[in-house]
Every structure is written in structure tokens, then in C-alpha cells.
Amino acid sequence: MKYNPSLIEKKWQKKWLESDVFKAKIDYSKPKYYVLEMFPYPSGAIHMGHVRNYTLGDLVARYKMAQGFNVLHPMGWDAFGLPAENAAIANKTLPSEWTNSNIKSMKLQLKQMGLSYDWNRELATCDPDYYKFEQKMFLDFYKLGIAYKKETWVNWDPVEQTVLANEQVVDGCGWRSGAQVEKKKMNGWFLKISAFANDLLNDIDSLTSWPDRVKTMQRNWIGKSKGATLRFKVNNSDKEIDIFTTRPDTIFGATFIAISPQHPLAHEIGNKDNDALDFIKFCEKQSTSEIDIEKAEKFGYETSLTASHPFKTDFKLKIFIANFILMDYGTGAIFGCPAHDQRDFDFAKKYNLEIIEVVENKVSEIESDLPYIGDGTHINSDFLDGLNIEDGIKLSIKKLEKLNIGKETTTFRIRDWGVSRQRYWGCPIPIIFCDSCGEVPVPEESLPITLPLDINFESNGNPLETHPTWKFTNCPKCNKDAIRETDTFDTFFESSWYFARFTDLNPLKAFSDEAIKYWMPVDQYIGGVEHAVMHLLYSRFFMRALKAVKSIDIEEPFKSLQTQGMVCHQTFITEDKQWLFPNEVIKENNNFLHAETKRPVFVGRTEKMSKSKKNVVDPQQIISNFGADTARFFMLSDSPPDRDMEWSDAGIDGSWRFLNKLWKFVLNLKNFENDEELLKDPSKQNKELLTVLNITIKDITKNIENFHFNNAIASIRTLFNAIISYKITNVSDEAVVLHTTKKLLILINPMVPHIAEELWARLGNSKMICDQAWPEIDHLYLKKNNIEIPVQVNGKVRAVIDVPFDTNKLDLEKIAMKEKNVLKFLNGIPKKVITVPNRVVNFVI
């Protein structure tokens, strides 16, 4: 009789698997619902972030199944990447072996959570049966010009020895290694995401079920700017410098020009000036983060060159190479207007450059140590004097265009996606280089291009580059000796379309038209907000690119998005500044002590669980000690999904006690009267419990739809308390308690499915609870005290009266007869009155 989650959970996981209850297939008789959590990297062990993310998705999937939806809920593995390569090197094994071993381990752990996945659709991105299709996609992109190769300045991670996309540079460091990123010029493959920038930006407005902060992050990253491109002539030279600015109206305040260290002109200068070259090298070692650059001290190298001012011919602008100008944005050059830009102001102060005020602040005088960046009217600006900023911008553009030295321009902050990575464990890029034929796409019939297994990780750099045979091949066009591309794809390439592959694991094509039309888009996508820019933006781009090559006919992959918060825990540190795991700490007399040494332990801040600070709790240990249902229940009850939650022993203990209490109570109902006929004429006490039940059904349904799962858990507790405090005096009382408890089990099933299944079966039900329909609301019981009754005259509603529940017929008719609008249409005494208590009063005249 004791609640034993270990036995119960294994039992039902086996039954679900044997019965294939979560297997999805196209069924046009039902509305479809595709729920998906961002798939994991197979590190070998699940963490509490996984537990929370997948519990959220599983609740939604089970709830939608109960509502009658045809649910697709798949799982797979984001399996390529440097961590596997590094681990393989450390463990002297192959990345494929290390990855497959981890997948096996994590799959077992996920199954122990009782997740409703259709494991028939499992995929791993490192499987050639998966990545052969993305090689085909790349070739389609290549033919249409969406994929191309060019030499460019890249973010180089010196530790991982690979290129990073701008989005993978965090605070000037590699997002995985933490190493200071360097600028380096290399050949690499790119996807033309910039060509889709306007669509990606405009269609954000259609994502009405996405969090506002994610949409804002995407808008900012795409970064649409309107302004003008000006052409400055370099004096005593045939060179010109193009500069994009959003404020061409401040041109009369320009006192210098600054160019990026990566600007072509900077390199020409560096080739002739060793000091300039040294400065360029210094800049290339600085952080590439915009935030870091904004905060960092501004440095410049004054070149011997000057440029002519477009409107003040006698004014020469000094040209600097500056560390705060990025080649990636605009044209890699700016004109400095120190009076009205903080960055330019700091630079001008440092190098004693002139500061010319061209926008007058009519409210207060400009402070000597601050630029004025607000609204105002133009001064010291020739033909712009007296104009406001908006009109000044318009007129300055007209003048520039008339003089043929500038034009109105719209630019985007987003740059094309560099997808080349110099590593082994990734999808090979299907291009061959031939001395005679140039770049040659690998023929489709030769796909997939797979990775060699006899790999040597002892050599520096990319192992594919140094492999003795793999890269050597024959040209598909002329059959001469040729060389394969040794770069592999950025792993975001794989995760940008995996959700489409889940719809149909067709061995002959990436996905079938029928499956895409039926299942896509994903109805509910769940994952971390840290993927707001990279993964989510790339996925949106990928659908558009696939549509451009006529492979798919959708644009937005995710209809609704939920970003879950972090799982946090207190941190513990010893007197000698050593972090401790929570299970190494005990509490005695309100003091925290090291469990082994009994020395005092200091309690630090509650932070996101991380291995570095050891404030982690092993999900496997929780599942072993308390069961998966307890872990799930606590994860859902602590806080709203989009907020951080704090893991606590008290919280897990409270969830454990509740499930034990539920277990004991339900087992004691096995001999209760199970006659639903007894509910047709409920007593006053019966009605009170049925009212609580129906209010709970309404609240839980609403809270699940709104992702307020913690509120849904609170409603479960309220209903359970009402059930266990109910006074049973007769068989009708037993029937209503049993009826309400069954509904409670259906309501709690998406949250704690194992115990719900077991208790459902123990109550004598032959079918599984996962096949039961979501409880319908009986609106008769939604209001405890009063109820609204429509009053009709000849069948047409003329008023609505608010009366106590169960008001008798005679009283209902008396109250209804007092309504002014009813009297207006009655014209005397009605011929007949039809009254249904709690439903309607109808006067027939």
C-alpha cells in the first residue's frame, strides 16, 4: 500500500512504450498540435534545466492530447560540435563513439522522467541519414546564390581554433571557450541572411504569441537604420571613403573621420607605415563586443591623410584609424560630430579636435563635458539653419544627392551568416575545389559526404585538413585530381531545420509535402531565452531560404514561443574559498556546516545552477529518492515557467508529502459507491463540492493555456483539500467524492502522469488515464452563491437576473417580473411561464 515511485514509474513507462500511446501519425479527423522543446546537446547527463524544460513541454503535450488534439511531441539530439571533439581527444576515443554513448545514457534518463515522446521519430544530427539532407539544402542554396564563399574578417577563437559568428562572441570572448576573440582574415562560406533582413524584421509583428523581449532582441539584432551614404574625397589621392550615417544633418559639425582597423584604406596605410601597422595589430586583439567597445577607452592613430568636407571646401577632416569602429557595421567608417555624440565627443577631447555645435539646445546650455544628443534646431549649418532635426535630415539628403556626393540609404546591422568551422566533428560542406573547374558542387547522387573514422587528433588545427587521404578526390566535372572542402558547418546549421525533419523521417527526402502541410508550424516551442538571436533567428531565416529554393512553403517555423527561466540554488563556500555541493553541507541550529569537517560554511547568493560553483542538484538522485513525479510537481509549482525558480529541499519535500497524501487517500476510495446516477439529483453539500470541482477545471484550463502552471498546481491543491475535508454521510456523498477524485486525477495527469495512471487503474478503470478526455465544465456549478439566469419573452432574451443558486421557480418568476425591460414586452399577464431552475425563465404571451 506504500507509495513506491520506483516500481510505479517503471511499470507505466513500460506500458506506454508497449502500447505506443504517444506515436504520432497524420489524422485529418483531429486538429493537430505540434509541441517541441529545444533538443539537447548529448553531454551524457541531464541537468535540472533539462528537467524543467521537458516537464513544461510534456505537460502541454499531455494536456492537448486530453483535449482531443492529434499531438506530435518528438525528441532528438543536437549532436555535432566541439565539446564532443574535445572530449574525444581527452578520452582517446572517436567523437561518434563518445556522442552515441552519451545519447544512450541521456535517453535512458529522459525515459525515467515519463515524457510523452514519440521515440519512433528520434534523430541525431550527426547521423549521415540526417545531414545528407542539409548537404542537399546547401547545394540548393549555392545554386541560387544564397550560399557563397568569400574572404572576410572573421572572429577567430584561438583556443577552439575555429571561426565564430558575431552572435557567438559574448563580451569579446568565445561563447564556449571564454577565450579572447581575435580578428583574422580568412576564406569562408556564408549564407545570405542579409538578403532576408527586411522580411525577417517585418514579420516579427506577426509573432503575436512570442515574448516581447525576444522580439525586441531580434529587432535590435537585425537593426534596420535609415540615413544617407556620403562620399568623402581623400585629399591628394584618388581614394574615396564611403560613410553611412543616420544623421546626415550633423555634417556641418563633422571635424574628423575615423576608419576601422580592418578598413581597406587602413591596411594600405599600414603597409607603408609601421606605426599604423602596430596600431592595427593592437586593435585586432581587442574585444569584438559592441558593449565592450562602447565602454572601452577610445584609441586612434592619426594618419597623414585628410579628407575634404562636402560642403565646407576649405575645411579638412583629419583621418584616424580608431579602435571603436567596426568593419562589420555600416561601411567601416564614420565622420565624427563631437558636439552631438558621446563616443565622438570622448575621442575629440582625447585628441584635441574641434567641437562644433550644430544643434541648439533651447532648454539649457550644453555642459562643457557632455555632448547634446536631444532635439533642437540647427545652427552653424548653412542651408540647414533653423530647421528641426527631421527636416534637416531630409534637406541634407536632397543636397547630397543633388551634388552627387551621397544618397538616401537603408542599412541593416545584421551581417551574412558565416557557417564555416575549422573542425572535424561537423557536417562536411559538399564542395570540391578543382584547379581547372574551380568550385564544384558534389553531385547529389554522391551525398552524403561522410566523415572519416581514422582521424588523428594529435595534429594542430582541423584534422580533416591534415588527413592523409580524405580530402583528396576527383573533380566531378573533369575527373582530374581535386580537393574537398575541409571546413564543416556551424552546428546552428543542423538546428535550423530539425523541427521540420521531425514531421517525417522519410529516407528519400528531408520531409514530405504532406507532413509539412499537416504538422508545421510548431504550435508550441519551448526553450531558453539565450537562443533568442542565434537559433531562433537562423531558424526563421532557414525556412525562408528553403522556400526560396522551393523545398518548403512556410516562413515562420514557431507559432508560439515560451522561454523558460533558469533553475537556481544557493551557493556554499568554505572558509578557504572552496565551493561546495549542496549535499556536502548540513544545517545544525540554524548554522551551515561542512558535512565532513563540521567547519562553518558561508551561504552565498542564489544563482543559476552551474558546475563551476557546485550549486547543482543531480536529477538522477532526485528521481531515485523521490521519483520523477515529485520532481515534476515541484518544478511546476515553484514559479511561472518564464521566471527563474529556486530549487530547495523544502520544496521537494513538500511535493513528496502531497503525492503521498494523494496516494493514501485515493487507495481508501476503492469500496466507495461508483454510481454516477446518484449525481443526477445532488444534495446541497454535493453541489458545493461539484462547484469547487468545476471552478477548478475552469481555472486549471485557463492557467495551462496561459502557461501559469504554478497557479494550476495551486488549484489542484485547493480541490484536493476540498475533497479530503468533505463529510461523507451516505452513498451519494461517496459517489460525488469518487467522481470528483477521478476528475482530479485527470487534471493532475499531465503534471504527474505515473501516479495518476496507477491510482486511476486502482480505482477499477480499464483504460489508461492518458486516453481520457479533459474534463468539461458544467457551467451550472461555476458560481458558488449567485447565478445569472436569462429571462425571455416569447423565446427572446429581454433581461438577465442575478439570483442565488437553486432559487425556486416561484421566486425566480417574481424576480423576473420586476425587470423593467421584461414588463415592457409583456403587456400584461403572460399566458404561460416556462421556468427551469438555474437555467431560464421564459414568459409566453
What is the domain-level CATH number for residue 252?
A: 3.90.740.10
- The answer as to whether 684 is a domain residue is yes
pLDDT, tens digit, for every residue of 75-132?
A: 999 999 988 888 888 888 999 999 999 999 999 999 999 999 999 999 999 999 999 9
Compute the average pLDDT of residues 630-639: 92
- Regarding predicted confidence, which is higher, 33 or 293? 33
Spatial neighbors of 340 by CB under 8 A, at least 6 apart, are 247, 250, 253, 357, 358, 359, 371, 372, 373
Looking at residue 528, its pLDDT comes to 87
Residue 166 has pLDDT above 70, yes or no: no
Amino acid residing at 777: I
Looking at the fold, whether 281 and 352 belong to one and the same domain comes out as yes
In this predicted structure, the answer to whether residue 362 has a pLDDT above a threshold of 80 is: no
- Mode of pairing for the β-strands spanning 481-484 and 431-434: antiparallel
Asked if 534 contacts 168 with a C-beta cutoff of 8 angstroms, the reply is: yes
Given 781, 800, 825, the domain boundary residue is 781
In terms of domains, do 560 and 537 share one? yes
Which grid cell sits at 313?
A: 571646401
Residues 165 and 104 in one domain: no
- Residue 327 and residue 270 share a domain: yes
CATH of the domain at 745: 1.10.730.10
- The per-residue pLDDT for 313 is 82
Burial call 743-768: b when 16+ CB within 10 Å, e when fewer? bbbbbbbbbbbbbbbbbbbebeeeeb
Looking at residue 749, the DSSP 8-state letter turns out to be T
Kindly write down the DSSP assignment for every residue of 695-726, as one continuous string: HHHHHHHHHHHTT-HHHHHHHHHHHHHHHHTP
Shared domain for 721 and 753, answered yes or no, is yes
Q: What is the DSSP string of 206-221?
A: G-TBS-HHHHHHHHHH
2 domain residue, yes or no: no
pLDDT tens digits for range 677-708: 888 888 888 998 999 999 999 999 999 999 99
Cis, bond preceding 790 (omega within 30 deg of 0): no
Instruction: State pLDDT tens for residues 486-496.
Output: 999 999 999 99
Q: How many residues does the chain have?
A: 845
Q: Is the peptide bond before 441 cis (omega within 30 degrees of 0)?
A: no
Q: Which of 564, 590, 614 is the last residue of a domain?
A: 564
Name the strand (E) or helix (H) holding 791.
strand 786-793
Domain, as residue range, for 511: 31-134+500-564
Neighbours of 450 (CB within 10 A): 12
Q: Are residues 680 and 772 in the same domain?
A: yes
Asked whether 636 and 14 are in contact (CB, 8 A), the reply is no
Q: Is the pLDDT of residue 165 over 80?
A: no
Per-residue model confidence as pLDDT tens digits over 496-522:
999 999 999 999 999 999 999 999 999
685 & 805 share domain = no
Check residue 412 and give its pLDDT: 93
| Residue 480 maps to a domain | yes
Band (149; pLDDT cuts 50, 70, 90): very high
Specify the pairing of strand 591-594 against strand 832-836.
Answer: unpaired
Structural domain total, the chain = 6
| 771 against 457, higher pLDDT | 771
288 and 339 inside one domain = yes
Examine the fold and report which residue of 349, 378, 412 is the final residue of a domain before the chain moves on: 412
Q: Helix 48-66 vs helix 628-637: angle between axes, to the nearest 10 degrees? A: 90
Place of cell 511535493: 655
Name the percent of the chain lying above pLDDT 90.
70
213 inside domain: no
Are the C-beta atoms of residues 33 and 70 closer than 8 Å to each other?
yes
Regarding whether 271 and 364 lie in a shared domain, the answer is yes
- Give mean pLDDT, residues 736-750: 97
Residue 174 lies in a domain: yes
Q: Which of 371, 573, 419 has the alpha carbon at shortest distance from 80?
A: 419
How high is the mean pLDDT of the chain?
A: 92
Q: What CATH number has the domain bearing residue 831?
A: 3.10.20.590
How confident is the model at residue 353, as a pLDDT?
Answer: 96
Per-residue 3-state assignment (H helix, E strand, C coil) for 432-468: EEECCCEEEECCHHHCCCCCCCCCCCCCCCCHHHHCC
User: What φ, ψ does residue 243 adopt, rounded to 5°?
Assistant: -135, 125
Q: What is the pLDDT of residues 224-261, one digit of tens each?
A: 999 999 999 999 999 999 999 999 999 999 999 999 99
Same domain, 360 and 394: yes
The pLDDT score that the predictor gives to residue 702 is 95
In whole angstroms, what is the distance from residue 368 CA to residue 338 CA? 12
| Higher-confidence position of 382 and 826 | 382
Average pLDDT over residues 420-427: 93
Q: What is the CATH number of the domain that holds 604?
A: 2.20.28.290
What secondary structure does DSSP assign to 614-659, as a single string?
T----HHHHHHHH-HHHHHHHHHHSS-TTS-EE--HHHHHHHHHHH
The pLDDT of residue 755: 98
Q: What is the pTM of this model?
A: 0.85
712-720: average pLDDT: 95
Condensed to tens digits (0 to 9), the pLDDT of residues 309-349 reads: 999 988 999 999 999 998 877 899 999 999 999 999 999 99
pLDDT of residue 416: 92
Confidence of residue 287 (pLDDT cuts 50, 70, 90): low
Among the listed residues 366, 333, 164, 356, the one whose alpha carbon sits nearest the alpha carbon of residue 265: 333
- 21 domain-assigned: no
Helix or strand run (H / E) with residue 766: none
Domain assignment present for 584: yes
pLDDT at 279: 95
b (16+ CB within 10 A) / e for 689-713:
bbbbbbbbbbbbbebbeebbbbbbb
Q: Are 455 and 467 in contact (CB under 8 A)?
A: yes
Does 20 reside within a domain?
no
Same domain, 571 and 559: no
pLDDT of residue 1: 73
Q: Are residues 128 and 145 in the same domain?
A: no
pLDDT band at 369 (very low <50, low <70, confident <90, very high): low
Per-residue pLDDT reduced to its tens digit, 759-808: 999 999 999 999 999 999 998 787 656 778 999 998 889 999 988 777 88
Q: Which SS3 state, helix, strand or coil, does residue 302 take?
A: strand
